[in-house]
Amino acid sequence: MRKVLAHQLVWPTTALAVLLLVNVIATPTFFDIRMQDGHLYGSLIDILRNGAPVLLVALGMTLVIATRGIDLSVGAVAAISGAVACVYIAGSPEQGAASTAIVACSIALAVCVGLGLWNGFLVSVLGIQPIIATLVLMTAGRGLAMLVTDGQITTVNNDAFKRIGAGFVLTVPLSIVIALGVFCLAALVTRRTALGMLIESVGINPEASRLAGVRSRTIIWTVYVFGAFCAGVAGLMIASNTSAADANSAGLWIELDAILAVVIGGTSLAGGRFSLSGMLVGALFITTLATTIPTIGIPAETNYLFKAVVVIVVCLIQSPKARAALWVRRTAPLAGRATA
Amino acid sequence: MTQMETQPAAIAPGRVEPHPVIEMRDITIAFGGVRALDGVGLRLFPGEVHALMGENGAGKSTLIKALTGVYSIDSGSILIDGEEHTFSTPAAAQGAGISTVYQEVNLVPNLTVAENMLLGREPRKLGRIDVRAMNRRAQETLDRLGLDISPTSVLGEHPIAVQQLVAIARAVDVEARVLILDEPTSSLDADEVEKLFEVMRSLRDHGVAIVFVSHFLDQIYEISDRMTILRNGTLVGERMVAETTQLELVKLMIGRELEVLERIDREVAATEAIKSGQPVMKALGLSRKGALQAVDLELYEGEVIGLAGLLGSGRTELARLLFGADTADAGELQVGSKTRRLRSPRHAIDRRIAFSSENRRSEGVIEDLTVADNMLLALQASRGWLRPIPRAERSRLVSKYIETLDIRPANPQALMRNLSGGNQQKVLLARWLITQPRILILDEPTRGIDIGAKAQIQQVVADLARDGMSVVFISSELEEVLRLSDRLVVMRDRRKIDERPNQDVSVSDVLEIIAGSARAEEATRA
């Protein structure tokens, strides 16, 4: 029992289960999934679909945080990605062609990789603190996206592009497939090769890693590029879902949702050991929470406040110190030794 | 829990003694079923220096942490002035006049010396920190200890040795009745140790009880009055220092005869033959501004070069240049037959050079990774992340080195942070041996580790050299350098001042070389 309780996934999973339970009580049909025109529909599917961009961004964020870093610019990068793709499609002579969509997405992702290189350069070569280095792009990035779209909401009409965020493959929404695909790929690459161990090593002790011959600089650079790439894909999904690029609100606050997902998943902001499966649970929790708030009748204006309270509670439950404090107060003082 | 009234049998009988200020009785602490301490006792009298002796992992640190409230005890009692007392937090212990200075400096590098000394008890005026009063009080304490350190300087700008002295000054500033010094001397040079001892003697004469933990037996004998010896978490006994010979003490600590050290008799003469070949590494005028003046050095196959010199003499700086941990400003380095510029450690590792840093914690171990990952890190890094070491190969390498180096616990999945210093050092040694280096640079590989582990590491170095590896060996303990080296390079003031074969050289000869060169310089200056 103690072993089960000590496992890092227990608390986030419990929190997610409680949240789902609340939803079922509020809406008894919550777990229903129905087939319509060969596509799956239902609240759970919606949650997964809405959660796909957050999951992608959180995936990149996990690796960045594991190296002791943080990437605040992912929301802006997502906005730029959507803007570049939409503006290219809108300006193309064959707006509806599938090839146009493919070229547009490739250009958008290439731009994102470039932005990731910029972030990585600031952090790993110039040694600027990650929070400051990525703050630059966080603020400048939205301006850049506005510049690309000329300050307008650019709408496009391209079926292939629309499918990324709103399409289906074998009855399942395509965005879910993409997000899970990238997730599995990342999990495979970090845990089946030595990359995960080297990332953790750099995050725990950069200087000792350097002296052991680890290419710390390259690794740090790579995770920022990967983070920006994931944000780019998320940005394409968001733009595709509405067939429009909104430089102002696309991916707004997504960096915070991603950071929360990572933290709830048990990866420390101090760097080092990371957990992709924990992050997955965390991302699901965050998106389920976003769906739950209107369902249980919380007024829209207190939306953020409620979210903050729930997040704090989850974080407190996860903290061994806070748990010990609660535990000691309720039981005999002897129990306090359990944490020593 | 009443059976603990019986005193440990080893305590010398019939002596008339004052009441102990602290008495720990029958202390037992277990971590997850493993007993770290099993019925251990300790008596501390006012006005004595009490050495706590034992190998790494014997339970010295655990006992100290039990006393200072870091760990809570499972059974047993702590008596302070004859009254039972337990501290639930380190702050409570400090409030009762028990101050602790740990081996690793636990201060804030980007605050000033004065701020560090008075952290948490800053003098205040109108609710704000009175900086002037703080600096004045720090200066007074530093003066009292005879330390020439500016209170307004930033702590991180000082070398580790000075930071250590500041930590001690911080502990002394509190009205301490009991001062616990856990390995305070491991990064100090002889002068600084002497200064520390003066401070300790003066505190002792004022009635402070001092617990002193050190791996340097000579220091124990110079400063301590009484000692308590632990082994594997149990109490071996309490002895008066004056009545126990060093040999007896070592036997008590390790529980067996220590013939290991005797066997390491390197055949120095044999290496003359080796020198006829090509050097595996050759430095010509290697230098770095502010760190090292131009040094020439040749290293031959199967040879151990000992770098002797005081702390700050440039030993570490030279080692770092040879490995590319720092880059040289001038001079050249030949590895094999080619001239190389070592731009990074990675570069050096590819040339089969290995370097184990003197700062085990900040530049060696990856605390939150397992023993296995720590061991394989350098090999994995040089293979690149795309080629993970196959599982079978991993476990073969890891269990081989756990066995040959006698690493404990012998569990590859143990987290590195849970190992004792000596075992961490062995894991780091294994990390480099796994890369099969031609040149092995060891900077203070035996610092702060117990005598058994020390002997094992020395034995490994001797064996490696016999098998053809070239070793650069750095240690503050001259005896150790002399025991292992074929050739001695003596450093002082960031340059090489002497080089000679290690034949009939004694410790005092080396000291004479260092002192002699200092005198010669003064003469030319005059």
pLDDT tens string B345-380: 999 999 999 999 988 888 999 999 999 999 999 999
**pLDDT mean over A231-244:** 94
pLDDT tens string B161-190: 788 788 888 887 777 789 999 887 766 777
Q: Which residues of A touch B390 (CB under 8 A)?
A: none
| A93: preceding bond cis by omega (within 30 degrees) | no
Considering only the top CATH level, what class is A2-297? Answer: mainly alpha
pLDDT tens string B450-461: 777 888 888 899
Q: Does B388 touch chain A (CB under 8 A)?
A: yes
Report ipTM (2 d.p.): 0.84
Domains of chain B in sequence order: 18-260 (3.40.50.300), 302-327+340-525 (3.40.50.300)
Please give the pLDDT value at position A166: 86
Q: What angle do CA B27, B29, B31 make, to 5 degrees?
A: 170
Please give the pLDDT value at position B44: 93
pLDDT band at B32 (very low <50, low <70, confident <90, very high): low
| B446 burial via Cβ count (<10 Å: 0-12, 13-18, 19+) | buried
Q: Does A308 touch chain B (CB under 8 A)?
A: no
Cα separation, B409 vs B164, in Å, equals 30
Strands (E), chain A: 33-36, 39-42, 154-155, 168-169, 172-173, 244-245
Residue B295 clears pLDDT 60, i.e. is over it:
yes
Please give the pLDDT value at position A338: 37
pLDDT band at B323 (very low <50, low <70, confident <90, very high): very high
Both tokens of residue B222?
A: 């110079």
Please give the pLDDT value at position B258: 47
Closest CA to B187 of B383, B475, B429: B475
**pLDDT mean over A107-115:** 97
**pLDDT mean over A104-126:** 96
Q: Which residues of B touch A209 (CB under 8 A)?
A: 366, 377, 381
Q: What angle do CA B390, A67, A128 make, to 5 degrees?
A: 140
Q: Under a CB-based contact definition with an 8 Å cutoff, are residues B371 and B407 in contact? A: yes
Nearest CB to A207 within list B71, B362, B373: B362
pLDDT band at A332 (very low <50, low <70, confident <90, very high): very low
Nearest CB to A214 within list B71, B381, B388: B381
Cα A41 versus chain centre, distance: 23
**pLDDT mean over A56-64:** 97
Please give the pLDDT value at position B499: 92
Torsion of CA B342, B345, B351, B356, to 10 degrees: 120
pLDDT band at A84 (very low <50, low <70, confident <90, very high): very high
Please give the pLDDT value at position B276: 59
Nearest CB to A213 within list B357, B369, B381: B381
Closest CA to B213 of B65, B67, B54, B52: B52
Which of the pair, B311 or B440, is modelled with greater confidence? Answer: B440
Please give the pLDDT value at position B141: 87
Query: Of all residues in chain B, what percent carry a pLDDT higher than 90?
Result: 34
Nearest CB to A213 within list B364, B382, B387: B382
Q: Which residues of A touch B385 (CB under 8 A)?
A: 193-195, 198, 219
Q: Does B37 touch chain A (CB under 8 A)?
A: no
pLDDT tens string B92-126: 888 888 888 876 667 888 899 999 888 887 888 88
Q: Determine the distance in angstroms separating the CA of B59 from the nearest CA of chain A, rounded to an integer.
A: 16
CA distances A42 to A22, A35, A177, B416, Å, are: 17, 9, 16, 48
Cα separation, A311 vs B172, in Å, equals 45
pLDDT tens string B230-261: 988 889 999 999 998 877 787 787 665 444 45
Please give the pLDDT value at position A334: 41
For chain A, the straight-line distance linking the first and the last C-alpha, in angstroms and rounded, comes to 18
Element of type H or E holding A21:
helix A10-26
Phi/psi at B488 (nearest 5 deg)? -110, 135
Q: Which residues of B touch A211 (CB under 8 A)?
A: 323, 325, 345, 355, 357, 363-364
Q: Does A146 touch chain B (CB under 8 A)?
A: no
Residue B274 clears pLDDT 60, i.e. is over it:
no
Q: What is the pTM (predicted TM-score) of this model?
A: 0.74
Closest CA to B173 of B119, B128, B112: B119
Q: Under a CB-based contact definition with an 8 Å cutoff, are residues A255 and A302 in contact? A: no
**pLDDT mean over A226-240:** 96
Q: Which residues of B touch A214 (CB under 8 A)?
A: 346, 377, 381
Helix B160-173 and helix B131-144, axial crossing angle in degrees, nearest 10: 100
Going B46 to B48 to B49 to B54, the CA torsion angle's sign is negative
Cα A120 versus chain centre, distance: 19
Cα separation, A142 vs A259, in Å, equals 19
**pLDDT mean over A255-269:** 90
